[in-house]
Structure 1
Amino acid sequence: MQRAEFLLNNYKETEALRIYEEVLSMSADNYEALCKASLLHNRIGDRYSTNDTRQMEHFSKARQLAAHALALHPSDEESNYLMALSLTNLATVLGPRQRLELTTQVKTYLDAALESQAEHAGAWHLMGRWQYKMANLNFAEIAAAKMFFGGFSNRASNLDAIHSIQKAITISPQNIRYYYDLATIYQELKDKEACVSVLKEALTVNMETKEEYELSRRCKIMLEEQVQ
């Protein structure tokens, strides 16, 4: 576990995952290993394109591990957050009906995570993404939700999404992903002033990983587009 944690902290995620899975082969109910392995499957899966079967394999494994962790500690913030994250990611690679079904489940787990730990930055960020999705469903998605699931019991607004991601940034101001997603929402809402402000903040964040440098590059491009 110490070796896996060292590798994870040094951004050697594939190697860390291999060791966490080795731990689980010896101790299947190791809660920390279940959570870390689920998180890493989500992260690694996100790097593949949606037409790559490896992405589905990683997201499915992430959900399986999160479900195991949730069975062990159903009220803990991390197991609930990881279940929400896994469902969110799986929803991006499944068909319309399955996507809607998973989307309806996400908020339950996010609410549980935030009830357990109100300062969970990841849960606030994911909540903001969920709220933005709910606020911008198209007619076909709303109709399908009514047909298959009786509609969505929880709707949200763009303002809800903005507040949630702002909360995530307040808790974890060095996560460039949060700034990028918030700036994207402002861009979609055509709020140029707010978008520019967030992008300028994003470019002050220290970066260490390839993903962070890529997000920084996208922020620079978006900023250039906004100030033209």
Structure 2
Amino acid sequence: MKQVLLALLLFAAAPLVAQDIKTLLKEAENAERSLKDSEALDKYKQVLATDPDNIQALVKASELSSGIGARLADKKAKKTYFDQAKTYADKALQVDANNADANYVRAVVAGKLTETETENKKIVAYVKEVKDYADKALALNPVHARASFTLGKWHMEMVNLNWAKKAAVKLLFGGLPDATIDDAIKYMEKSRQLDKYFVLNHLELAKAYKADNKPAKAIEILNLLVKLPNRTADDAALKEEGKKMLQDML
């Protein structure tokens, strides 16, 4: 009899739990939209405490952890957030290895970990992961704006590697990967077509055009950039960087 009552209570509680999760997800989205990343991250963590396999919460918790960590000055604190972001991304991939967003955030955190890692071999391994996961995200969703940007940024960074890192990359990849400024621009332009409000993509695209000796195109992109609305906690600072770059080019 007790087991029957317990089963009935659990059955009755299930809709309430689902409703709580839905409410928390909405609150997290609103906090993120208000540029309150830490508050949003806490909400997603609350979702995961109840529903540890919630793919949306895992993806967003990883993305926010990467973003918050990137803003910190202390390298140890940055790494703590990046490691947390990797844990969430890895869990998301365990839940659904063919989820484009999960692959995208895993690519992002691999890129972030290159900033805190000191061992060349591990840095290069992370560099390889960036491309592998971004490639898979785009294979799963060819119109994924942020995955397209991530791949474009990867090409840009490969072009600009110093000789020591090029040697390490060559050793791990079995040769230098095909990376060109043209491909960097191609992927970032694709990202711009898919998401015209993506501030970071505009800034990096302008840098790519400048590096490719196309100042007119860089200025065109920067003029668009400074007029964009702030949609993430990083956008105001990125727009200021773009504004300074524009002033220096005029």
TM superposition score normalised by structure 2:
0.84
Q: How many residues align?
A: 225
Q: Which residue does 1:159 correspond to in 2?
A: 182
Q: Which residue of 2 aligns with 1:124?
A: 148
Change (3 A) 1:193 1:45: same
Corresponding residue SS for 1:46: helix
Give the match for residue 235 of structure 2.
212
Between the aligned partners of 1:84 and 1:207, the Cα distance in structure 2 is 24
| Aligned residue number for residue 61 of structure 1 | 84
Larger Rg: 2
Where does 1:17-96 land on structure 2 (aligned, <5 Å)? Answer: 17-49=41-73, 51-95=74-118, 96=120
Give the partner amino acid of 1:59.
F
Tell me by how many angstroms 1:173 deviates.
0.5
Among 131, 138, 144, the residue aligned to 1:114: 138
SS across alignment from 2:147: helix
Instruction: Write the distance in 1 (CA, Å) between the matches of 2:139 and 2:232.
Output: 31
CA RMSD of aligned residues (A): 1.7
Which runs of no fewer than 5 residues in structure 2 stay unpaired? Answer: 1-24
Closer, same or farther: CA 55–182 of 1 in aligned 2, 3 Å = same
- 2: distance between equivalents of 1:208 and 1:74? 28
Gaps of 5+ in 1: none
* 1:187 equivalent in alignment to 2:210: yes
CA contact (8 A) 1:142 1:151 kept: no
> Which one of 115, 123, 126 corresponds to residue 99 of structure 1?
123
Q: Structure 1 residues 53 and 141, CA, compared in 2 at 3 Å: closer, same or farther?
A: same
Q: 1:95-117 CA deviation, whole Å, 9 max, x = no partner? A: 22211111012211111111111
Offset at residue 3 of structure 1 (A): 2.1
Aligned to 1:202: 225
Matched, 1:170 2:193: yes
For the structure 1 residues 182 and 77, does the alpha-carbon distance in structure 2 shift closer, same or farther, using more than 3 Å as the test?
same
TM-score scaled by length of structure 1: 0.92
Aligned-residue sequence identity (percent) comes to 29
